[in-house]
Structure 1
Amino acid sequence: MNTDAVVRRLIAEAVGQDESVLAALPGDTRLFGPEIGLSSLAGARLLDSVRERFGVDVAAEDLNLDALESIATLSGFVQRHRR
């Protein structure tokens, strides 16, 4: 499974949405926008899941958390920093 697909699955799990919904969204869909509705609690769960799955600590490596702007920015960040 490619990184983007796994990141989308982790987002779906964090916000309690069906994976097929996230799979159909364009990459520029904002994580905190109405389509996904990432809350601060769900965001913390997502960051934990990304760290466990990919070994990437987004909060430590991206102090402004710009990586959480959209599906594509998070996926790209993970691809660049994964171990």
Structure 2
Amino acid sequence: MHSDFLPVRITQRLGDSPRKRGCETFHTCPDIFELSDGNFAVIGTEATAVLARRLPQDIACADHERIVVITRETLIRAKRDIPDA
């Protein structure tokens, strides 16, 4: 993990828990969290190798970054908890 993130804490889950979304394992499903520094963390399926070469020309994925995929349902259920500003 990048050292800049070490003091950061998870402050809240955005949206419903995996259990409420019907995840069968209840603990290995996509999730979105707000962090104490105002940023967000996403748990999803790692897809950098597949999607990095399909990014628009004006964006790139740095060596320390990963592209993750979450379900549409996960993001839609989190929408109510995502601040406008």
Q: TM-score range by the shorter chain?
A: under 0.3
Q: TM-score, normalised by structure 1?
A: 0.26
Structure number having the greater helix percentage: 1
Query: Could you say which structure has the larger radius of gyration?
Result: 2
